[in-house]
Amino acid sequence: MDTESPRIARETTPLLQISKKPKTPLPKFQIGILLLYQLGEPIASMSIFPYINQLIKDLGITGDDDAAVGYYAGIIDSLFFVAQALTVLRWSRLSDRIGRKPVLLMGVLGACVSMLCFGLSTNFWSLVVTRCMCGILNGNAGVIKIMIGELTDSTNMAQGYALIPIVWYFGAVVGPLIGGTLARPQDHWPGLFAHPFWGRYPYFLPSAVSACLLFLAFSLQLFFLEETLPIKHRQKWGISSSADSETLAQKSMAHMPLRSMLTPNIVIAIANQAMLAFFGISLMALLPLFLSTPTDLGGVGFTPSSIGLCLAVYGIVNGVFQALFLAKLVDRLGPKRLFCLSVSCFAPVMVCFPVLSWLVRVRGPVDHAVTFAVLGQLVIMVIWDMAHGTICLFVTASAPAKNALGAVYGLSQTSASVARAVGPALATSLFAFSKEHNLLNGNAVYVVFIILSGVLRWLASQLPDELQDRDD
């Protein structure tokens, strides 16, 4: 009982990060198992990126109008996050009541089933239904971050959250690589995939492989992941008596009105994460669309396999960089300074698009200058992506107590999901509109996003300068 008391005391104190105390070792086994879930969302949402534009063309949705592909690609990209935005808060609050593990298991199994259904889709509306199903059933996005917050303290929280981008970008490598390499297998391996099934469902193979990876993760988590919700933890160990009042407070927090959670610190942190999600997903929708657009329309004209390779290289470099340097840079620069530096890189990333378009027109798509320009853009994107790991510190720190993490992350992930739902549709529609009407020589979409990025930079300046240690 004595060993449990400090844990209970910490659960009712505000969560803030980075302390000068000796760092608590990370519970590596549990976090390692938990992070397998993080593979689910990037695989489910990004494996379609290399071939979605070709899929829309194959289904004849746009007829002969290649420039209109962006409109429909944006809709498909956004549906996952629209559906997720409508349900993620309920999943997060449900995890406060029934536990984190059941919600995660339902989420990854739902993503597995929906990916299989997506691969069997043969018309636009079946694509719509399966993407919505994937978003509705995927409640793990916020709960993963909640569990890491419950598994860490102020001394190792930055190190724990630094692992999320690593796994995300591993999924971002695996997803596009699966999609780009395995799409239309009859074209690449006609002898191995000669059955008419593969001709009728040319995009089922990448969906099936993604689903198998998700099911493997589901199986491992089912048997080895431990519950982190404090109420469930106490029930498991039979803790009562002196913990009864704490349990009642925990239950009360799980049911408290969301309006009471909207303090300035929480609102600013959530607003930053929402804007970051908006720009991040918009960029990831624009990049493959730009790379796949024919050169005469201002793109690069890459094939799906080439796009998948580019995104895979980016994901590998990004994951390694975040693993080696994110936590160290947070300690050296401080979370706010690093976050402001990272979000300032979005405008240069946007500038790279018209530069690449110009280089392709002048020197052709197969040229060393174009290759170096693409690599330069990806390097800037790596710096930009440090913001994703850093903002988790501010969101967790804004929670008034550990037993409020479900509500705070539910609000945060709902806002981020709404932003991710708007981002791809807006970005790809602006891209198509800019190209169709030749606005600013087809570059109006980049100018709009450069201007909007100033809003995120201002929001970043509103974050607290210092996050005090209140673990004790």
- Domain chopping of the chain, boundaries: 16-461
Query: Cα(99)–Cα(96) distance, rounded to whole angstroms?
Result: 6
Identify the pLDDT of residue 271: 92
Task: Identify the pLDDT of residue 247.
Answer: 47
Segment 349-354 mean pLDDT: 90
Q: How confident is the model at residue 9 (pLDDT cuts 50, 70, 90)?
A: very low
Predicted TM-score (pTM) of the model is 0.69
Give the pLDDT band of residue 11 (cuts 50, 70, 90): very low
For 107-111, 155-159, 429-433, which range has the lowest pLDDT when averaged over its residues?
155-159
**pLDDT of 66:** 65
**CATH top-level class of 16-461:** mainly alpha
pLDDT above 70 coverage of the chain, percent:
81
Q: Please, are residues 453 and 279 in contact by the beta-carbon 8 Å criterion? A: yes
Tell me, what's the pLDDT at 332?
A: 87
Tens-digit pLDDT profile for residues 392-430 = 888 878 877 666 677 787 788 788 878 877 887 788 888
Q: How many CB atoms lie within 10 A of CB 257?
A: 8
pLDDT band at 141 (very low <50, low <70, confident <90, very high): low
What pLDDT score does 246 carry? 46
Confidence (pLDDT) at 21: 65
pLDDT at 329 over 50: yes
Of the ranges 241-250, 340-349, 366-375, the best mean pLDDT one:
340-349
Compute the mean pLDDT over every residue in the chain, rounded to the nearest whole number.
Answer: 77
Q: What is the pLDDT of residues 179-228, one digit of tens each?
A: 888 888 888 888 888 888 988 888 899 888 888 888 887 888 888 888 87
Tell me the mean pLDDT in the region 294-310: 77
- Model confidence at 469, pLDDT cuts 50, 70, 90, reads low
**241 pLDDT exceeds 60?**
no
Does 2 score more than 70 pLDDT? Answer: no
The percentage of residues in the chain with a pLDDT greater than 90, rounded to a whole number, is 9
pLDDT at 10: 41
| Residue 251 reports pLDDT greater than 70 | no
Question: Stretch 240-257: mean pLDDT, rounded?
Answer: 48
Q: Tell me: the pLDDT tens digits for 29-57? A: 888 877 777 776 677 777 887 788 788 88
Highest mean pLDDT, choosing among 134-138, 274-278, 300-304, 375-379: 274-278
12 pLDDT band (50/70/90 cuts)? Answer: very low
**Between 23 and 395, residue with greater pLDDT:** 395
Q: Is the pLDDT of residue 344 over 90?
A: yes
Residue 62 confidence (pLDDT): 66
Look at residue 90 in the predicted model and tell me its pLDDT. Answer: 81
Please tell me the predicted confidence (pLDDT) of residue 92. Answer: 78
Question: Mean pLDDT, to the nearest integer, of 161-168?
Answer: 75
What pLDDT does residue 422 have?
81
pLDDT at residue 450, as a whole number: 93
pLDDT of residue 136: 82
